[in-house]
Structure 1
């Protein structure tokens, strides 16, 4: 799903839909016996640049979000990861940590609070802190849905 289509959809659909989707996933996995200290970890889509340029590869050079990730979180930006605690139902996003110099290409670089409010999740961390934060949250088992191996 490309960013413009996602943004149009996000203007129509409230974050309550994505929260309900996460609850459905949590409920189904709880019924299957997954609960205490178990997290679902989902990888969002990433931009793929054409060689040494800032052009993005793909159909019409447009970013398209990974479908399962969008279903869970409604995030339209590239480079995010998400986690759901199957005991509490709390949801977490891990955003790319971009240097301020990237503002030349991306425009304003938003902070973690911006994305916490935009997507109505319990907390937002940087993607460089995934392992540390999952340990802090006491994740003992992680159910992965990733595009590339990150661990």
Structure 2
């Protein structure tokens, strides 16, 4: 009886097989909470400075301000399509460019962030959770925040 409690070559092989099977099955059973965080969830975590699980407009604009500063490499006070590196289509850049100079200054960029934030917030509660950020409108906002 006691002998069966000690690992043997046979028991070790069974234990290893069970561990492999568990590693393969557990993520599917446990669902997304077990899996690695998605890009949306990582961005949410990075932008959510008060750690309440949501992004409010102030947090979004603070993150966007950092993105603007990093993108604004030629230090002329605005970003162009090249500096934005695909964050905006030419059509969206033109629509956000209120002074029609072909670039976005900080005020225009933050106004675009606010517009996209509101589009991603259908409830109008002023907060975006992971589910809202995974919508097309939410993903559009996230492009400006990372």
Do the structures match in fold with TM over 0.5?
A: no
Larger Rg: 2
Which TM-score applies when normalising by structure 1?
Answer: 0.26
Q: TM-score, normalised by structure 2?
A: 0.26
Q: Greater helix share, 1 or 2? A: 2
